[in-house]
Amino acid sequence: MSDLTAVPAKLLRTSLRERRNLLSHQQQKHNEEKALLQVQKLLAQENLQTPLNIGLFLSQDGELGTGKVIEYLWSQTEHKVFLPILAEDNHMFFGEYRPETKLQNNRFQIPEPVNETVICAGELDWVLTPLVGFDRCGNRMGMGGGFYDRTFAFKHEQKEESPYLVGWAHACQEVDRLDSQPWDVPLNAIISEKETLWF
């Protein structure tokens, strides 16, 4: 971790993306396997035995891999996996993702489920969210589009606990402090290859 708090947001975002892309294939694989262990411990808790609706994403651009978590949820649990579907108003819905699900690219060339059950964000129990950077106060830096903040804004308005927003990141994406805005929706936790950090 380093102090990048004085760096403008655009440059900080670029720096953190470069940082995760510098990880070797072996480091990426190791981090994904260690982070999966954190998920397994979390889901093994007694109060999480009921099948959950879990929002995920398909990792890219050096992001902490999600493939092993998805495979684990499919093969070892009764939980349902959902992926984001971008709506025209730049909010997101979530489509169920199963092994046989067909995918098609959205306008950002990100694969989305086709012809599957679609639910709104409030129907999810847990969401593993992508991010570029995070701090230990629960602040998250995304790609700058605001899709997650818009989609989960109801957590501000209704003071809803659920769904739990869990950042999914390499530990090297941590910074000392991120500036937050009133519209930012804070994370409930972060999972990295090193730990599960609750806020």
DSSP assignment of 68-119? HHHHHHHHH--PEEEEEEE-TTS-EEEEE--TT-EEEE-TTS-EEEESS-EE
Average pLDDT over residues 79-100: 95
Please tell me whether residue 168 adopts helix, strand or coil conformation: strand
Neighbours of 101 (CB within 10 A): 16
CATH number at residue 167: 3.40.50.10420
Residues of the binding site for ATP: 140-148
Which residue segment(s) compose the domain that 180 sits in? Answer: 9-198
Q: Is residue 110 situated within a structural domain?
A: yes
Residues of the binding site: 58, 63, 140-148
Enter the tokens of residue 136.
């230990």
Residues of the binding site for substrate: 58, 63
Q: Is residue 3 situated within a structural domain?
A: no
pLDDT band of 86, cuts 50, 70, 90: very high
Query: C-alpha distances in angstroms, 81 versus 56, 58, 70, 73?
Result: 7, 11, 7, 7
Please tell me whether residue 29 adopts helix, strand or coil conformation: helix
Which of 97 and 91 is assigned the larger pLDDT? Answer: 97
Q: Which residues pair with 103 in a beta bridge?
A: 113
Q: Average pLDDT over the chain, rounded to whole?
A: 91
Average pLDDT over residues 112-136: 95
- For 182-197, b where at least 16 C-beta lie within 10 A, e where not — what string? eebbebbbbbbbeeeb
Q: Is residue 4 situated within a structural domain?
A: no
Q: Where are the beta strands (DSSP E) in the chain?
A: 53-55, 80-86, 92-96, 102-105, 111-114, 118-119, 126-129, 133-134, 140-141, 164-168, 189-191, 196-198
Q: Is residue 1 situated within a structural domain?
A: no
Query: C-alpha distances in angstroms, 15 versus 58, 71, 80, 149, 176?
Result: 22, 31, 34, 22, 14
Please tell me whether residue 22 adopts helix, strand or coil conformation: coil
User: Quick check: 86 and 108 in contact, CB under 8 A?
Assistant: yes
Q: What is the pTM of this model?
A: 0.91
pLDDT over threshold 70, residue 24: yes
Q: What pLDDT is attached to residue 142?
A: 87
> For 59, phi and psi rounded to 5 degrees?
-70, 150
pLDDT band of 73, cuts 50, 70, 90: very high
Q: Is residue 2 situated within a structural domain?
A: no
Q: To which residue do tokens 């805005």 refer?
A: 181
Average pLDDT over residues 105-110: 92
For the chain, the domain total comes to 1
Query: C-alpha distances in angstroms, 8 versus 93, 100, 141, 178?
Result: 31, 43, 12, 11
pLDDT over threshold 70, residue 49: no
- Residue 159 CB contacts under 8 Å (≥ 6 apart), including other chains: none
pLDDT over threshold 60, residue 87: yes
Q: Is residue 49 situated within a structural domain?
A: yes
Per residue in 133-179, pLDDT tens?
999 999 999 887 889 999 999 987 766 678 999 999 999 999 999 98
